[in-house]
Amino acid sequence: MAHIGDKEYFKQIGEIKFEGKDSDNPLAFKFYNPDQMVAGKTMRDHFKFAMAYWHTLCGTGGDPFGPGTKAFPWATSVDPIQAARDKADAAFEFVTKMGFDYYCFHDVDIVDEGDSSLAEFENRVQQTASYLKEKMTASGVKLLWGTANLFSNPRYMNGAASNPNFDVLARAGAQVKIALDATIALNGENYVFWGGREGYMSLLNTNMKLEQDNIGRFMRMARDYARSQGFKGTFFIEPKPMEPSKHQYDFDAATSINFIREQGLEKDFKLNIEVNHATLAQHTFQHELQVSADAGMLGSIDANRGDYQNGWDTDQFPNNILETAEAMLVFLKAGGLQGGGVNFDAKTRRNSTDLEDLFYAHIGGADTFARGLLIADSVINTSNYEDLLGERYASFAAGIGADYVAGKLNLGDLYNHAQNNGEPRQISGRQELYENILNQHI
Ligand code: XUL
Ligand code: CO
């Protein structure tokens, strides 16, 4: 395969191919077969796998206890534009070799902000976006979503759109405008708002109502601007309950859906659900998908997994097949994602320092999702799972139960029905049976 950059960074690695589950090639997909049809669509189209620029190209492994451990060969130039081009070369070489169709970025991932002025930063983003455009045209790789990082720079320590100081809010607005311009210039299919510091550290010094209404106004402005520039994509809010803030306003899917509706954003906004954010909110991933799907707002997925002992946002690559299979049941029954895809918002561990580790990680993640999808499809089509579920709710499918669902009854009708029927029959929930069916299809 011809590489498309000026430099080749992953020389020892070629195109990652599907070789099936019996392959012992660590650099091959065992389950993710991009062109395989599942439930009427190719795996490629179900997932729209994306690489996250920030973890894969920028994440050198620093943590609160020590600096980064990974000396990336594309991060050597001191000139920000040259460094951005080198990083883009590495990014597109990686995505292309993985056979993925998409990538996602924050503005500051594609080019260093450093201590540049707003005007200089805008210039850097524009120059980098033109280079990315060339790489996209040459490779066919597309932008799943863009976003602005409104949480790392110290100026955002009190929040961005929720900041108590209007000047900081306006600065964040300028950054969103620049990020939207770049996203639109690159035909980005969606735009994400993740509210890292949109929340509080202490309620004592916080006017929650004003802060949340300000975020609403900010998002409506961003939407109106993007639409005026021809952006046709969807905006996603990415819920997360905490970290870095003690409390983040987009706590979970249900909270974010309420915010979207309260702020009049429901025509343009959906949700981007991240596995580890769900578990941090004490929910399962599948719960968050279901809540989003039921509201018609299942937009996109940030794929990863947490650590089930310490609960932190560890952003590990997905490898839990049971969790992913349960999630894929919700995914398939919801008819998939609305506009988004599956972005690997995941990082290799601090001590995984070989460049190959980036490939192993993404291969494992893609295989986990593929396997989950195949299991879910098999459960739906070749087991009695759907019949069991139908039976459980059969009392609402006909007769007086169907009248209830159709809104034809009043409380007196319930009273009369109860009077005439005596103590209801005990009906088992049969949870263990459902669990066994899922396990049997793994
Ligand atoms: C942080 C996180 C972000 C968003 C984009 O937990 O998930 O990387 O996905 O800002
Ligand atoms: Co994320």
pLDDT in tens, 66-119: 999 999 999 999 999 999 999 999 999 999 999 999 999 999 999 999 999 999
The per-residue pLDDT for 1 is 39
Asked if the model's pLDDT at residue 165 lies above 70, the reply is: yes
Q: Compute the distance between CA of residue 81 and CA of residue 297 in angstroms, rounded to an integer.
A: 38
Q: How far is CA 45 from CA 206, 231, 289, 345, 370, in A?
A: 44, 22, 18, 19, 12
Atom of ligand 1 nearest to the CA of 315: 6
Q: Compute the distance between CA of residue 256 and CA of residue 75 in angstroms, rounded to an integer.
A: 37
The per-residue pLDDT for 332 is 98
For 321, the token pair is: 């097949």
The per-residue pLDDT for 2 is 42
Q: Compute the distance between CA of residue 432 and CA of residue 442 in angstroms, rounded to an integer.
A: 16
CB 147 within 8 A of CB 192: yes
Condensed to tens digits (0 to 9), the pLDDT of residues 229-256 reads: 999 999 999 999 999 999 999 999 999 9
Q: Is the CB of 315 under 6 A from ligand 1?
A: no
106 in active site: yes
Which residues in 16-56 belong to E strands, given as ranges? Answer: 17-18, 28-29, 37-38, 41-42, 49-52
Report the 10 Å Cβ neighbour count for 389. Answer: 12
Q: Compute the distance between CA of residue 257 and CA of residue 239 in angstroms, rounded to an integer.
A: 10
The per-residue pLDDT for 6 is 59
Q: Phi/psi zone of residue 407: left (φ > 0), alpha (ψ -120 to 50 degrees), beta?
A: left
CB 325 within 8 A of CB 372: yes
Residue tagged 């300000």 (tokens)? 214
Q: Is the CB of 345 under 6 A from ligand 1?
A: yes
283 in active site: no
Separation of CA 302 and ligand 2 centre (Å): 5
- The pTM of the full predicted model, rounded to 2 decimals, is 0.97
Q: Could you report how far apart the first and last alpha carbons of the chain are, in Å? A: 34
Which of the following is catalytic: 86, 89, 109, 313? 109
Cβ < 5 A residues, ion ligand 2: 274, 302, 345
pLDDT category at 312 given cuts 50, 70, 90 is confident
CB 31 within 8 A of CB 365: no
What mean pLDDT comes out for the span 4-12? Answer: 80
What mean pLDDT comes out for the span 313-340? Answer: 97
Q: Which residues pair with 56 in a beta bridge?
A: none
Asked if the model's pLDDT at residue 4 lies above 70, the reply is: no
Q: Is the CB of 238 under 6 A from ligand 1?
A: yes
Element containing residue 97 per DSSP (H, E): helix 80-98
Q: Report the chain's mean pLDDT, rounded to a whole number.
A: 97
Asked if the model's pLDDT at residue 5 lies above 70, the reply is: no
Residue from 55, 144, 183, 240 whose mutation best tests the ligand 1 pocket (most atoms within 8 A of CB)? 240
Asked if the model's pLDDT at residue 364 lies above 50, the reply is: yes
Handedness of CA 182, 185, 188, 193 (dihedral sign): positive
Q: Compute the distance between CA of residue 298 and CA of residue 272 in angstroms, rounded to an integer.
A: 7
Asked if the model's pLDDT at residue 389 lies above 90, the reply is: yes
Q: Is 62 helix (H, G, I), strand (E, B) or coil?
A: coil
Q: Where are the alpha helices (DSSP H) in 273-429?
A: 275-280, 285-294, 321-333, 355-382, 385-392, 399-405, 411-421
Q: Where are the alpha helices (DSSP H) in 306-354?
A: 321-333
Residue tagged 């034809």 (tokens)? 408
Residue tagged 């972005």 (tokens)? 343
Report the 10 Å Cβ neighbour count for 331. Answer: 26
CB 334 within 8 A of CB 139: no
Torsion angle, alpha carbons of 111, 47, 136, 105, to 10: -10
What mean pLDDT comes out for the span 208-216? Answer: 98
Asked if the model's pLDDT at residue 3 lies above 80, the reply is: no
The per-residue pLDDT for 7 is 82
